[in-house]
Structure 1
Amino acid sequence: MRIDGYRKVVSRPGIGLLMLLGFFSKIAVVAIPVVMNLGVVFGLDRGFGAAGLVIALWTVGVAIGGPVQGRMMDKYGVRPVLIVSLTGQALFWGIGPSMSYGVLSVAAVGCGLLNLPGFAVVRLRLAVAIPEEQRHTAFALDAMTSNISYMVGPALGVTVATTVSSDVSMRGLGLSVALAGAGLALLNPQVRDSAKETGSEPAPRMKFRQWFKPALVPVLVATTATTLATAGYETAIVGGLRDSGQVEWAGLVLTVCGLCSFIGALLYGTLKRPPHFALISALVGLTTVVGGFATGDWRLLCLAMVLPAALCSPSFAATGGAASGLAPAGARGVVMGIYSASLTLGNSIGAPLSGAIQDARSPLWAFVVIGLTSAALSGVALGWTAWLARRPAAEPQSTPVLADAAA
Structure 2
Amino acid sequence: MGSYSELLKTRGVARIIAAQLTARFPSGMLSLAFLLHVEQQTGSYGSAGLVLAATSIGQAVAGPLTSRMMGRFGMRPVLITTLTICVAAIVAIGVIPPVMPLYLGIGLLAGLATPPVQPAVRTIYPKMVNSRQLTPLFSLDASAQEIIWVVGPVVTTFVSTQIGTIWGILLAAALMVVGGAWFISSPELGRVRIPRSKRRFGVVLARPPVLLATVVGFLLVGACAAIEAGVVAVFGHGGPEAGIVLAIFSIGSLAGGLFLGHAPISPWSTARRMFIVFAGTALAAAAMDFWWLAGTLFVAGIGIAPALAVLFAIVSASVKFSDTAEAYGWVGTGQLIGAALGSALAGFLIDGNGAQGAFWAAAALAFLGTLVPALAKRWHPDLRGRDASPMPDTEPVPITPS
Provide TM-score, normalisation by structure 1: 0.86
Cα 1:255/1:125, change in 2 over 3 Å: same
- Could you tell me which residue of structure 1 aligns to residue 355 of structure 2? 363
Q: Deviations over 1:221-250 (max 9, x none)?
A: 1111111111111211222345xx996522
- Could you tell me which residue of structure 2 aligns to residue 278 of structure 1? 271
Q: Aligned partners of 1:363 and 1:14: how far apart in 2? A: 45
Q: Aligned partners of 2:212 and 2:162: how far apart in 1? A: 44
Q: Deviations over 1:374-400 (max 9, x none)?
A: 2124312321233x47xxxxxxxx564
Q: Aligned partners of 2:294 and 2:205: how far apart in 1? A: 42
Structure 1 residue matching 2:188: 3-state secondary structure: coil
Cα 1:366/1:97, change in 2 over 3 Å: closer
* Larger deviation, residues 268-277 vs 54-63: 268-277
Q: Aligned partners of 2:260 and 2:230: how far apart in 1? A: 26
- Could you tell me which residue of structure 2 aligns to residue 53 of structure 1? 50
Q: Aligned partners of 1:153 and 1:64: how far apart in 2? A: 24
- Could you tell me which residue of structure 2 aligns to residue 392 of structure 1? none
Residue 338 of structure 1 deviates from its aligned partner by 0.6
- Could you tell me which residue of structure 1 aligns to residue 60 of structure 2? 63
- Could you tell me which residue of structure 1 aligns to residue 21 of structure 2? 23
Q: Deviations over 1:89-111 (max 9, x none)?
A: 23213332232322121111111
Residue 306 of structure 1 deviates from its aligned partner by 2.1
- Could you tell me which residue of structure 2 aligns to residue 148 of structure 1? 147
One-letter amino acid of the structure 1 residue matched with residue 30 of structure 2: I
One-letter amino acid of the structure 2 residue matched with residue 229 of structure 1: A
Contact 1:232/1:367, CA 8 A, preserved across alignment: yes
Q: Aligned partners of 1:52 and 1:291: how far apart in 2? A: 27
Residue 211 of structure 1 deviates from its aligned partner by 6.7
Cα 1:210/1:94, change in 2 over 3 Å: closer
- Could you tell me which residue of structure 1 aligns to residue 394 of structure 2? none
Q: Aligned partners of 2:239 and 2:180: how far apart in 1? A: 37
Cα 1:236/1:94, change in 2 over 3 Å: closer
Structure 2 residue matching 1:203: 3-state secondary structure: coil
Q: 1:86-101 counterparts in 2 under 5 A?
A: 86-99=83-96, 100-101=99-100
Residue 139 of structure 1 deviates from its aligned partner by 1.2
Residue 204 of structure 1 deviates from its aligned partner by 4.2
Q: Aligned partners of 2:297 and 2:109: how far apart in 1? A: 37
The percentage of counterpart residues that share the same residue type is: 20
- Number of aligned residue pairs: 382
Q: Aligned partners of 2:223 and 2:17: how far apart in 1? A: 27
Contact 2:91/2:170, CA 8 A, preserved across alignment: yes
One-letter amino acid of the structure 2 residue matched with residue 86 of structure 1: L
Q: Aligned partners of 1:191 and 1:48: how far apart in 2? A: 44
Structure 2 residue matching 1:271: 3-state secondary structure: coil
One-letter amino acid of the structure 1 residue matched with residue 22 of structure 2: F
Cα 1:169/1:339, change in 2 over 3 Å: same
- Could you tell me which residue of structure 1 aligns to residue 397 of structure 2? none
Contact 1:219/1:278, CA 8 A, preserved across alignment: no
Match 1:316 to one of 308, 314, 320: 308
Structure 1 residue matching 2:145: 3-state secondary structure: helix
- Could you tell me which residue of structure 1 aligns to residue 391 of structure 2? none
Residue 181 of structure 1 deviates from its aligned partner by 0.8
One-letter amino acid of the structure 1 residue matched with residue 358 of structure 2: A
Structure 1 residue matching 2:208: 3-state secondary structure: coil
Structure 1, unaligned stretches of length 5 or more? Answer: 390-397
Structure 1 residue matching 2:322: 3-state secondary structure: coil
- Could you tell me which residue of structure 2 aligns to residue 13 of structure 1? 11
Contact 1:225/1:281, CA 8 A, preserved across alignment: no
- Could you tell me which residue of structure 2 aligns to residue 304 of structure 1? 296
Q: 1:72-111 counterparts in 2 under 5 A?
A: 72-99=69-96, 100-111=99-110
- Could you tell me which residue of structure 1 aligns to residue 209 of structure 2? 215
Q: Aligned partners of 1:320 and 1:94: how far apart in 2? A: 32
- Could you tell me which residue of structure 1 aligns to residue 2 of structure 2? 4
Q: Is residue 131 from structure 1 mapped to residue 114 from structure 2 by the alignment? A: no
Q: Aligned partners of 2:240 and 2:168: how far apart in 1? A: 25
Q: Is residue 340 from structure 1 mapped to residue 332 from structure 2 by the alignment? A: yes
Residue 337 of structure 1 deviates from its aligned partner by 0.5
* Larger deviation, residues 373-382 vs 329-338: 373-382
- Could you tell me which residue of structure 1 aligns to residue 344 of structure 2? 352
Contact 1:292/1:363, CA 8 A, preserved across alignment: no
One-letter amino acid of the structure 1 residue matched with residue 111 of structure 2: G
Q: Aligned partners of 2:2 and 2:264: how far apart in 1? A: 12
Q: Aligned partners of 1:97 and 1:134: how far apart in 2? A: 42
Residue 267 of structure 1 deviates from its aligned partner by 0.5
Contact 1:281/1:315, CA 8 A, preserved across alignment: yes
Q: Aligned partners of 2:382 and 2:263: how far apart in 1? A: 21
Contact 1:60/1:112, CA 8 A, preserved across alignment: yes
Residue 47 of structure 1 deviates from its aligned partner by 1.1
Residue 59 of structure 1 deviates from its aligned partner by 0.3
Contact 2:265/2:383, CA 8 A, preserved across alignment: no
Q: Deviations over 1:51-106 (max 9, x none)?
A: 01000000000001110111011223321111111210232133322323221211
- Could you tell me which residue of structure 1 aligns to residue 161 of structure 2? 162
Cα 1:334/1:204, change in 2 over 3 Å: closer
Would you identify which runs of 4 or more consecutive aligned residues in structure 1 move more than 6 Å? Answer: none
One-letter amino acid of the structure 2 residue matched with residue 281 of structure 1: M
Structure 2 residue matching 1:331: 3-state secondary structure: helix
Structure 2, unaligned stretches of length 5 or more? Answer: 387-402
Cα 1:306/1:191, change in 2 over 3 Å: farther
Contact 2:64/2:327, CA 8 A, preserved across alignment: yes
Q: Deviations over 1:2-55 (max 9, x none)?
A: x2211232222222111111111121222111111112012x233111101000
Cα 1:172/1:319, change in 2 over 3 Å: same
| CA-atom RMSD in angstroms | 2.5
